[in-house]
């Protein structure tokens, strides 16, 4: 197993550990990855000369049996180290009946599941589509699977990988970047964050290709909802002090508080688009105004006799597990919140299937759709938003049970599985969810009070229409609609139409904007918390601040204390990251390529416009000549006309006055 102390030589032949350039006699080459290593810096160098011919480097050799390799907390499946891949590659190389071309195809099939010929066909098909996707496919490939990153994770050194590939790499005990060997911070290794900017950019590129090939031009989701009405709190009570009064502000959608399922365009008179997957809000009050989740404090919205309509994942319980398309949710209750203990997170008694927990159980038995909102407060999840709250679509509760939680008391547990027609915000897929098998839940072996649905769900997938919809009539609402009529949505809809008319490349460049200056990033920097900034903007945000703070007391010097430097967009401390900023070169190449293509497109369109203008001017001149000729035939006298022109008057001085007479000689 490769340790931090064992590093190979770089491209210039310099050892990355001792920073010296060893001679050829002091260098040994791995027979699998063909990487050069400095023999003097190896902890276990080969003992005899014959073993150097069959030597495997620490990266390619299997780890020792006593090595403990716990998977990261956010990894959904246990990762076990294995050398099956290395063994298979050696078997291919040892097969003398294969040519070099056939060996290359075999290796390609082994690594990516596709042969080289299939890859060539795929590349040929890609060239027929939009060049934007070709650009992404060329510059943003994951170094492990050689595909566009699925749920991309960006390391502090500026390299991008798939989330699953990154978790497998970390699960093997390797805490350095696979491309440059820079050390990955332990916090990021255990809780990687998905780079939402790359997710949106890759999906937009895929959508542009499908539009060119004749697909639908539907916009699946938005990341930042900028087209909201400006005036929100219109009632008298909302203008008073207090959280409960503020939560009584205007509701922009025409749905009751017990509405089940997605919020459609017909329920959105302000924007006529509904609440889209990926829509973000700053706080719970704003989320309430758009109907995604009505309670401004409670995490479950529902009634014990009717069912639950929505939940919020905010990391309130230690037992929660988030895996994106499915998650394990912990019910409410079990805490003593009396007196001044309203913020207590210590559980003091067992949870029961009552009140809001009962509402979730009713939704499980009937298969009702549940809206899911994720909060940035869930720090343990890779799928949580960077800030605020985000609507992640429709889920369905498949099972619920009770088990003994981490704090020693019983908790109610619910298995949520995503079933939405739109893709999730963290994936670059163009289509929504399909029915998937339920994941294996080990804790069910010791669970009690297990509840499973035995009848057909009310929200189900229709194979004929290939979409999720109500298979049974939705529950009848028992509450009134909390909304007011508004006529101020015309401007927002006009802005939406203008944004849809933007070029694909221009929309992509807009997504690559700095979170500080709001302009296209110059020398992009990606922080460990997955936020993107210009290098100059990030340095300017911390200009004049020192990393250490000197302390003294009564003339006596004390130990220096480290200054906490929070990310401009979240509370994450990035002081260590600021000491060695690494530009995201892959993202920089994409931005520069998009800019150059936009300039080329503008340059090609400009001659066409000049030709059109030239034709128009030529026709205008012919008309003027015809008019002048007719005037000349009618009279041989000079004609005075009131027209703006440059004339010579009073001894050769130029005058550009609209009232100056213009003398036109007789054409005869």
Burial of 15 (0-12, 13-18, 19+ CB in 10 A): buried
Q: Which of 407, 289, 290, 308 is nearest to 298 (CA)?
A: 308
- On the 0-12 / 13-18 / 19+ scale of CB atoms within 10 A, 408 is exposed
Whether 367 has a pLDDT exceeding 90, the answer reads yes
Q: How confident is the model at residue 363 (pLDDT cuts 50, 70, 90)?
A: very high
Segment 510-520 shows an average pLDDT of 82
Residue 99 to residue 638: CA distance in whole angstroms: 92
pLDDT tens sequence across 87-96: 777 788 788 8
Over residues 445-450, mean pLDDT: 92
What residue ranges define each of the domains in the chain, with the CATH number in brackets? 1-61 (3.30.40.10), 222-335+346-500 (2.30.280.10), 513-583 (3.30.40)
Given the structure tokens 């900034």, which residue do they identify?
A: 533
Give the DSSP letter string of 305-337.
Answer: TTEEEEEEE---STT-EE-SSEEEEE-S--B--
DSSP output for 13-67: S-BTTT-----GGGEEE-TTT--EEEGGG-SS--SSSGGGTT---TTTSPPPTT-
Residues 304-353 pLDDT 10s: 999 999 999 988 888 889 999 999 999 998 887 766 555 667 888 899 99
State the chain's maximal CA–CA distance in angstroms: 113
Among candidate residues 80, 79, 78, 83, the one with its CA nearest the CA of residue 58:
83
Query: What length does the chain have?
Result: 668
pLDDT value at position 483? 45
Instruction: List % helix, strand, coil for the chain (3-state, nearest 5).
Output: 30, 20, 50
Residue 529 has pLDDT above 90, yes or no: no
pTM over 0.85: no
CA distance 197 to 428: 11
Helix (H) or strand (E) holding 612: helix 585-634
What are residue 639's DSSP bridge partners?
664
Candidate from 128-137, 248-257, 343-352 with smallest mean pLDDT: 128-137
Per residue in 381-438, pLDDT tens? 888 888 889 999 999 999 999 999 988 999 999 999 999 999 998 888 878 899 989 9
Beta strands at 639-642 and 532-534: parallel, antiparallel or unpaired? unpaired
If you search the block for the tokens 């390797």, which residue do you land on?
174
Who contacts 567 (Cβ-Cβ below 8 Å, separation ≥6)?
Answer: 527, 529, 531, 573, 574
Q: What's the mean pLDDT when you consider all of the chain? A: 75
């Amino acid at each position: 197993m490769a340790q931090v102390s064992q590093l190979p030589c770089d491209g210039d032949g310099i050892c990355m550990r001792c920073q010296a350039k060893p001679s050829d006699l002091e260098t040994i080459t791995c027979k699998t990855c063909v990487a050069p290593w400095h023999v003097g810096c190896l902890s276990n160098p080969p003992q005899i000369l014959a073993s150097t011919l069959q030597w495997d480097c620490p990266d390619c050799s299997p780890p020792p049996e006593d090595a403990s390799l716990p998977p990261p907390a956010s990894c959904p499946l246990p990762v076990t180290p294995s050398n099956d891949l290395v063994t298979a590659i050696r078997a291919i190389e040892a097969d003398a009946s294969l040519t070099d071309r056939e060996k290359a195809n075999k290796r390609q099939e082994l690594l990516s599941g596709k042969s080289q010929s299939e890859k060539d066909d795929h590349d040929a098909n890609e060239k027929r589509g939009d060049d934007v996707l070709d650009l992404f496919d060329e510059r943003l490939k994951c170094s492990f699977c050689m595909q566009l990153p699925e749920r991309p994770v960006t390391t502090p050194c500026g390299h991008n990988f798939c989330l699953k590939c990154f978790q497998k790499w970390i699960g093997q005990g390797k805490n350095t970047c696979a491309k440059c060997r820079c050390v990955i911070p332990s916090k990021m290794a255990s809780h990687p964050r998905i780079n939402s900017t790359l997710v949106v950019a890759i999906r937009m590129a895929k959508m542009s290709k499908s539009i060119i090939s004749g697909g639908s031009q539907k916009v699946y989701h938005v990341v930042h909802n900028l087209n909201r009405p400006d005036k929100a709190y219109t009632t008298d009570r909302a203008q008073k002090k207090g959280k409960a009064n503020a939560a009584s502000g205007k509701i922009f959608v025409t749905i009751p508080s017990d509405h089940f399922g997605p919020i459609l365009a017909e329920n959105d008179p302000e924007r006529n688009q509904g609440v889209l997957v990926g829509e973000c809000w700053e706080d719970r009050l704003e989320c309430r105004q758009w109907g995604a989740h009505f309670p401004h404090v409670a995490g479950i919205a529902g009634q014990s006799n009717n069912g639950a309509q929505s939940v919020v994942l905010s990391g309130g319980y230690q037992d929660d597990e988030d895996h994106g398309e499915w998650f394990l949710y912990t019910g409410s209750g079990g805490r003593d919140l009396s007196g001044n203990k309203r913020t207590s997170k210590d559980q003091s008694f067992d949870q029961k299937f009552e009140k809001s927990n009962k509402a979730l159980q009713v939704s499980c038995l009937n298969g009702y759709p549940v809206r899911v909102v994720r909060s940035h407060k869930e720090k343990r999840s890779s799928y949580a938003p960077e800030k605020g709250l985000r609507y992640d679509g429709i889920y369905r509760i498949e099972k619920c049970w009770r088990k003994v939680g981490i704090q020693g008391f019983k908790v109610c547990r619910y298995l949520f599985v995503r079933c939405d027609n739109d893709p999730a915000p963290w994936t670059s897929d163009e289509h929504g969810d399909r029915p998937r098998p339920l994941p294996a839940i080990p804790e069910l072996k010791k669970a009690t009070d297990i509840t499973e649905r035995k009848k057909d769900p009310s929200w189900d997938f229709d194979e004929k229409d290939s979409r999720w919809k109500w298979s049974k009539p939705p529950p009848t609402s028992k509450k009134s609609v909390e909304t007011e009529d508004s006529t101020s949505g015309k401007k927002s809809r006009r802005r939406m139409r203008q944004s849809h008319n933007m070029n694909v490349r221009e929309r992509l460049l807009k997504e690559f904007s700095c979170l500080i200056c709001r302009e296209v990033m110059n020398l992009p920097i990606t922080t460990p918390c997955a936020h993107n900034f210009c290098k100059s903007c990030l340095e300017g945000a911390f200009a004049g601040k020192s990393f250490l703070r000197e302390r003294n007391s009564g003339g006596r010097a004390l130990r220096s204390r480290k200054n906490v430097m929070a990310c401009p967009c979240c509370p994450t401390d990035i002081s260590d990251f600021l000491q060695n900023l690494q530009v995201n070169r892959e993202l920089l190449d994409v931005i520069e390529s998009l800019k150059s293509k936009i300039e080329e497109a503008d340059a090609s369109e400009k001659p066409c416009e000049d030709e059109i203008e030239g034709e128009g001017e030529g026709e205008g001149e012919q008309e003027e000549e015809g008019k002048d000729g007719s005037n000349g035939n009618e009279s041989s006298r000079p004609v005075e006309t009131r027209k703006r022109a440059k004339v010579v008057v009073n001894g050769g001085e130029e005058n550009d006055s609209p009232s100056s007479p213009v003398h036109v000689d007789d054409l005869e």
